[in-house]
Chain A
């Protein structure tokens, strides 16, 4: 009898015995589920991995299908980039926070912009009232960007910018600041989020309709492939999809489906898959179920590699590698007993490291209440440093590979994601599936099911629906100075009086002409930015030509 047959028999006998014992002493619950609600068996064994070949499905680190990671030595070479998302109030304030973080040992910058900036409104726009500098830094013109990076040599840091609809404008500003520092675009390292599809689905900072938005994105791909070769031109994001309530498998599925849509759009625009493929990057969430999250990252890498190879015939290995940033799960933080969030973040961060992330943001304990203070940001960064230097998780590559449970979860998430991708393909791709509301509806169903499970007590959230205590009002929260808005308005006024108005007008009119045609929009945007046209002025020109996106509302 073969070994596997022996094992099958042994397990049958073992199960019979355990079932008898359980009849007398029941387990804690009748159904065990993952953080995403998928069933969890009592035991995983080699039987669960039968029929899956090691070389084809798991392979070696740095080799197809990259299940075990995109580099061959992973963190033995160097740690992931520790990159805390930060920005608030004015460019001056945020510049101070960046210098604090760099001094504390952070290795890359990550810029949070305020909502008016993310939606292409200047600080003096009526809709900006009350919002300026609140959830990020206010950037109205190149002048603010110069202040933001003052004293930070752009050839020595990598900068990630969470900017989507106006990504081209902020990237142009970054290039222009570098020029002033004497740094050429070929020396720049960083990422723009530039992922409009998940804005329609989950994050909400869209401006233009899908078609011109996809054009702006492919224009950036093309421009950067020639001028800014080390720039990650997009960060295809599952993070916000998960925050909106999706399961782990949905996070992988909808993110990869968006990725497919971007690749198709770029190919349709005449680009070669291996010209832009290597610069595509991803962004995922990390929730509390350690093993499911590790499996999710591993499955995402495998799914993407296979799609790029089999569907798009990419040849360059770099086009096949899913490189990603991770942020711990904001929606898992509780306002109740906020110190407990430090522990949640540690588990989540560990999952990202065990899952092979390229960079990581750890949330601060107070983020269910307000923007984080310096003290709580330091703990969050220290959490990463402890994992890196003390936990041992970084000493070997993909340490959980071969775990019967983790490999089974990896396979399950892959299967579930592929089934969703098939359904999305049948609807004509991600853009159509989003316009039709399919993706949003699937996420909302999961979000509601989760909320109900918490309210019924099926799912325990420590400090929230179990182990509660009486607490006083939280103290020591960060408050953004409300005068920031007024300061920005004054700055715009002064800038508009000082700049060369004729040059601005000419640049904006060139941009309008280009937008109506089909040439690449990056050069005219860069020229407008250099002339100190404001973000709002540039965005308004494009609004005029492209129109604005109007979502259909449902719940």
Chain B
């Protein structure tokens, strides 16, 4: 049997808005993926540790606090330090479009803003996995 896609849905930063994270977690699960949700207030260190432990194919981070430019690149750095280069990392939340290019230059594959249908995120994940 084909292995299910494993996704770590993570909430970096201090904001408590996890309606989006929970909705996407459930939509990914309903789409047949294996989903682990970290809960609130995860440090980049905690997220990377969980991604490695859970052998995640995808890390999907949700943030609405405005600290994305600090926290997302930090996650990428820590993944690189651990020699992990085959995990697809995506982000979502209230993130100004002006920041998309910067975040993509740090290795975030896609940013999903407010109003994105869950189907778009699911399709993107299926089509852009780094592990085949």
A interface with B by C-beta (< 8 Å) = 115-116, 118-119, 127-131, 134-135, 199, 202-205, 243-245, 331, 334-336, 368-371, 444, 447-448, 451, 454-455, 461, 464-465, 473-474, 477, 479-480, 551, 553-555
Contact = CB atoms under 8 A, between A and B. Distances in A.
8 pairs of A and B residues whose beta carbons are closest in the complex:
A204-B16, A130-B70, A130-B67, A134-B66, A115-B14, A553-B39, A555-B22, A335-B114
Given A130-B71, A555-B25, A464 B17 contact: no
A551 B41 CA distance: 11
Interface string B117-131: 111000000000000
Interface stretch (B52-60, B81-89, B94-102): B94-102
Nearest to A479: B96
A451 B114 CA distance: 12
A371 to B, nearest CB: 8
Contacts of B40: 204, 551
A477 B96 contact: yes
B37 A135 contact: no
Contact of A119 (B14, B27, B66, B94): B14
A318 B72 CA distance: 49
A331 B98 contact: no
Given A129-B67, A553-B38, 10 more contacts: A129-B70, A130-B70, A130-B71, A204-B16, A204-B18, A336-B115, A444-B26, A454-B117, A461-B115, A555-B26
Contact of B96 (A119, A369, A464): A369
Contacts, number: 103
Contacts of B35: 555
Interface of B: 9, 13-19, 21-23, 25-27, 35, 37-41, 43, 65-67, 69-71, 94, 96-98, 113-115, 117-119
A187 B48 CA distance: 51
30 contacts: A115-B13, A118-B14, A119-B14, A119-B41, A130-B13, A130-B69, A134-B65, A134-B67, A135-B65, A202-B16, A204-B16, A205-B16, A335-B113, A335-B114, A335-B115, A368-B115, A369-B114, A370-B66, A370-B94, A448-B22, A448-B23, A451-B23, A451-B118, A464-B115, A477-B96, A551-B39, A551-B40, A555-B9, A555-B22, A555-B35
A455 B14 contact: no
B28 to A, nearest CB: 10
Contact of B14 (A116, A369, A451): A116
Contacts of A555: 9, 21-22, 25-26, 35, 37
B66 A480 contact: yes
Contacts of B117: 454-455, 465
A336 B116 CA distance: 10
Given A115-B65, A334-B115, A455-B118, A447 B16 contact: no
A474 B19 CA distance: 24
A131 B23 contact: no
A245 B117 CA distance: 16
A130 B15 CA distance: 12
A332 to B, nearest CB: 11
Contacts of A135: 15, 65-66
Contacts of B13: 115, 130-131
A454 B117 CA distance: 9
Given A199-B16, A204-B16, A335-B113, A455 B119 contact: yes
